[in-house]
Chains A and B, each alone.
Chain A
């Protein structure tokens, strides 16, 4: 189930909230856990056993680690990591590995088809962070299996992040309360995320699909401006889509008293490629920083070791996003630019130029990210420099641009900090007079319900599928 669906919005979520609000305090966690398992089971009940088992292993190993000393602690940790990474490797990467050995050596003769359990990358990393933190002694092991299972299966963030650290929610799993302000901010954040996803991101995706149809021969014959316009819309889509899920997760958490950390910080306002990665998918970047980069030695080492550390991190970052070479290439592409910034550019570019060049690097990076087929990737990269002979523009591209020009502007604006800035300004003004507070209050009051209405209409609109002949 996804948040942006009628089934979630009008069946699951209202029923869940009703049950959650009606039960006494001691039953709130069980209700939340039951809802989370139902939510997870919606995508395929057989994988519930996987998340339940991973949580069980992590609960057990964390308690063993806490109770042990010396080398035994390390052994328990290694056993835990072997379990979690082994399962992740099997479900997410085994087919990829076999496909490569098949194409190189002809073995195996047949490549098995393994269904990827939904959210496995997210909850596996959450559990790894939990057990490693217990091993490091920075948190206490959770004695209750149910509470640990709740932490990793919590439907707010289980399938699309952010990767919530246990320490962030440890106290709130045991005791939490949602103030009047928390509830409002949660509802507001959720509705903003929902609208970002179903109104902006989905509309951007439709434009991308029309300009850059994956796997179609037409992908190779688009006009140059069509490739660029398509990729700009894709860059907007991927940010709006991903950050919208984080918004909704953060919003739903806040409604009931969880305070998850921010996962994005207006990444397209970055001043450099490095800055982009400080602002993009922060929970993943910080995971690799804390659990891979720092343990390897970070930057306090020789240049060679630093490059090795960075290469490991960016190889893994690429691989985490998908079992395909293009994701690995995408990770290594950023490695190249990060090293270039550190050793060659060294903050010597003027700020506007640095910002523009970072955006260009990110945009071209999205090309690597989007197209898993190297044939498609080559077609698009060639087309972007006008090497496919299809000309600069055509009527179809012109039409798409004009039909979506305000969507483009609104989506760009939604990527900036303009909205939060405006809210802060209006909030300050609200303290200066009764009219101002009424104006600001009206905006605050109308935003969530209006965004919900627009989102429901957009969701229904996405299912609009007219046929030219009667199909009944």
Chain B
């Protein structure tokens, strides 16, 4: 009886406790709904702050999506709405913060092995064995007549997209450094060589055409065994093949062996796909040998150091190991001048510096210290010479670190970035009485169809 009474008195207490626990749980769930709704509301309100929406992204080095044009047609076909969605997310005010948070979160997906291969399953064309001729002489001038010039000139945008894809395919990562692997593409190489041959033929007797092909960092820096195991094309043999396709009017400057001989030095960045100015200097020395001139004492020029530098490989891979051990950029200032003039894509003229102090620039932008970056036309006048030779450098971004080395040797240095320049090379050379035409390009970029096609268009008359 007493037990029954105790049970009766206990039961209401248990029910009350259960009800209290249930209420606690439901209160916490209510808080959850409020938290979820509150977060959505906050993020939605932030999305309404149109005046703080960015138009460009420094981190990604690109223009963000623009607000779509409102037309009846764009509404009816739905492109206005898809454009709005893209614009809304691309320019969302907190986007870069969220991107950074996501990159950190993605580190939880797995381990970062010390040795990695990213995007490495790329198929290269077979390198024709007969292409391997004397690297210095250029070998036989045989370019198959497959190219009659491009039907359409590749736009700067399409060239950039191709380069982006080619540079970032086949990245070998070891000890916090990324190495891009070279993959041979027959058609692009033939077009590239045809472009230089065309230019040299058009300028025969008027100017001397030089070709410098810069190997990727994997070719210059990795051991032979390691390089062979990566599955790309042997870069030395590939450059020899390029050179074998040039005619007698093109003078190849073979820098591959020189770079390898110095590969215990800081010739390439570890977090970026470019070379350092030291690597460019060794190429310059080889050019001087080919020309029979004495190289300037570049390494003893006044220089500036910009650090930390975390370049394109870091942007792509986001490896903590790279962030912990970033690159630095050493930039040597020519003794004759540090001034240049460049024209942008709109034709506007700017006075700038050969070596710009980029100390306060973003850590991803330090390579922009050299000759104001990639411009359609840049001109450097040497005030210490009243008369003297002139040269035209046709380059992509690898040439930026190279051009300053030439400044003391020439009265005038003209520079085209082949991706953005619309000039006709032979006409420009004649109009300005240029003596030397120097093509300096990274070999992967020279193996990019759109780059080669654009060069062919610029070289043809």
* A→B interface (CB under 8 Å): 1, 5-7, 9-11, 13-14, 41-46, 180-181, 183-184, 187-188, 191, 203, 210-211, 213, 217-218, 221-222, 226, 394-396, 398-399, 401-408, 430-431, 434, 437-438, 440-442, 444-449, 452-454, 456-461, 463-472
Contacts and interface: CB of A to CB of B under 8 A. Distances in A.
Contact of A6 (B18, B47, B106, B231): B47
A185 to B, nearest CB: 9
Given A396-B119, A458-B102, A460-B89, A184 B30 contact: yes
A216 B288 CA distance: 43
B40 A452 contact: yes
A431 B163 CA distance: 62
Contacts of A14: 40-41, 44
B320 interface: no
B351 interface: no
Nearest to B89: A6
B52 interface: no
A472 B62 contact: yes
Contact of B112 (A13, A398, A403, A449): A403
Contacts of A441: 24-25, 27-29
Nearest to A442: B28
Interface in B6-59: 18, 21, 24-33, 35-37, 39-41, 43-44, 47, 56, 59
B345 to A, nearest CB: 11
Given A217-B123, A448-B33, A457-B101, 15 more contacts: A6-B88, A187-B33, A188-B32, A218-B122, A405-B109, A434-B24, A437-B25, A441-B24, A441-B27, A444-B25, A467-B60, A467-B160, A468-B167, A469-B61, A471-B61
A42 B78 contact: yes
B348 interface: no
B33 A221 contact: no
B113 A399 contact: yes
Contact of B110 (A222, A395, A406, A444): A406
A449 B85 contact: no
3 closest pairs, A vs B, by CB? A461-B102, A460-B98, A441-B28
27 contacts: A10-B92, A14-B40, A41-B81, A43-B78, A45-B76, A181-B26, A187-B36, A211-B121, A394-B120, A395-B116, A399-B113, A399-B116, A403-B109, A404-B109, A406-B110, A437-B24, A437-B25, A441-B27, A449-B32, A449-B35, A457-B98, A457-B99, A457-B102, A461-B103, A461-B106, A467-B61, A471-B160
Interface in B286-305: none
A467 B28 contact: no
Given A218-B123, A468-B164, A406 B44 contact: no
A442 B164 CA distance: 46
A404 B89 contact: no
A232 B368 CA distance: 43
A448 B98 contact: no
Given A11-B44, A442-B28, A437 B62 contact: no
Nearest to A427: B25
B144 to A, nearest CB: 22
Contact of B44 (A10, A438, A444): A10
B374 interface: yes
B109 A7 contact: no
Contacts of B76: 44-46
Contacts of B106: 203, 461
B contact patch SS:
helix
A405 B36 contact: no
A314 to B, nearest CB: 34
Contacts of A465: 60, 62
Contacts of A181: 26, 29
B62 A406 contact: no
Nearest to A468: B312
Contacts of A396: 117-121
A459 B89 contact: yes
A463 B78 contact: no
A460 B62 contact: no
A445 B28 contact: yes
Contacts of B122: 218
Given A402-B113, A460-B102, A218 B121 contact: yes
Contacts of B120: 394-396
B374 A399 contact: no
Given A394-B120, A441-B28, A460-B92, A45 B78 contact: yes
B108 interface: yes
A229 to B, nearest CB: 12
Contact of A395 (B56, B115, B316): B115
Contacts of B21: 430-431, 434, 437
Highest count of chain B CB atoms <10 Å: which of A7, A218, A222, A446: A7
Contacts of A431: 18, 21
Contacts of B117: 394-396, 398-399
Interface in B218-236: 231
A17 B458 CA distance: 58
B61 A405 contact: no
B95 A407 contact: no
Contact of A403 (B61, B102, B116): B116
Contacts of A472: 56, 61-63
B346 interface: no
A183 B85 contact: no
A180 B81 CA distance: 35
A441 B30 CA distance: 10
Contacts of B265: none
B148 to A, nearest CB: 26
Contacts of A41: 81
Contacts of A447: 32
B31 A467 contact: no
B168 interface: yes
Contact of B35 (A45, A211, A445): A445
B326 to A, nearest CB: 16
Nearest to B161: A467
A184 B110 contact: no
Contacts of A399: 113, 116-118, 173
A417 to B, nearest CB: 22
B105 A454 contact: yes
A394 B118 CA distance: 11
A11 B75 CA distance: 18
